[in-house]
Structure 1
Amino acid sequence: MAQPITPAEITTALAALPGWQLERDALAKEFKFGTFREAMSFMIRVAFEAEGLDHHPDWCNVYNRVSIRLSTHDAGGKVTAKDVALAREIERVSWVD
């Protein structure tokens, strides 16, 4: 079972994750793309990374926007190292300005 990380660890992680913030016990970010196709392409790239990490986001797509929230269900919905790792991978595959 994953363990929640400390507030200090979350602060350190967020410093290296531009645009991410802590919202209601989850790492959160909204990505805006030029088109729906770009947003869906991004979601597919993220899906492959998430599957590889066996950790899946709570997310929503509306046209050219993708909102992502990361928390770990088996840690009581708190932020764990798994969430930070997935956020880093999401940043790696993102090409949003």
Structure 2
Amino acid sequence: MKPLTEKEIQTELKNLNDWNFTDDKIHREFSFEDFKTALSFIVRVGFDAEDQGHHPELFNVYNTVQISLATHDAGDKVTGKDIKLAKAIDAIYKTF
């Protein structure tokens, strides 16, 4: 998979909610009312990520989940796979 240029990434970020691009990854932080809800979100993201064959970096403390996306097979750069998964994650978040 071919990495996106920074210009392509910035264009794609306009179609995503609150994602940003730093350190060759796209990142977003999600907040929930409690740990149980945050953990439920992580599980839902995990199932969708597995279905897509693409696995995010996840970090959780209490009610906050941070997600970073880059494609390992593309030299840990952002690709269309990351944009697709970010859109799926945004859709999952809307259900919480």
With the shorter chain as reference, the TM-score category is: over 0.9
| 5+ long unaligned stretches in structure 2 | none
Match of 1:77 in 2: 76
Tell me the distance in 2 between the aligned counterparts of 1:65 and 1:10.
Answer: 25
Letter in 2 for 1:29: R
| 5+ long unaligned stretches in structure 1 | none
CA deviation after TM superposition for structure 1 residue 31, in Å:
0.5
Greater than 6 Å deviation, 4+ residue runs: none
**SS in structure 2 of the partner of residue 67 of structure 1:** strand
Match of 1:95 in 2: 94
Give the length in aligned residue pairs.
96
CA RMSD in angstroms, aligned pairs only: 1.3
Letter in 2 for 1:32: S
Provide the TM-score with structure 1 as the length reference: 0.94
Whether 2:36 is the aligned partner of 1:37: answer: yes
Provide the TM-score with structure 2 as the length reference: 0.95
Match of 2:59 in 1: 60
Q: Identity of paired residues, percent?
A: 46
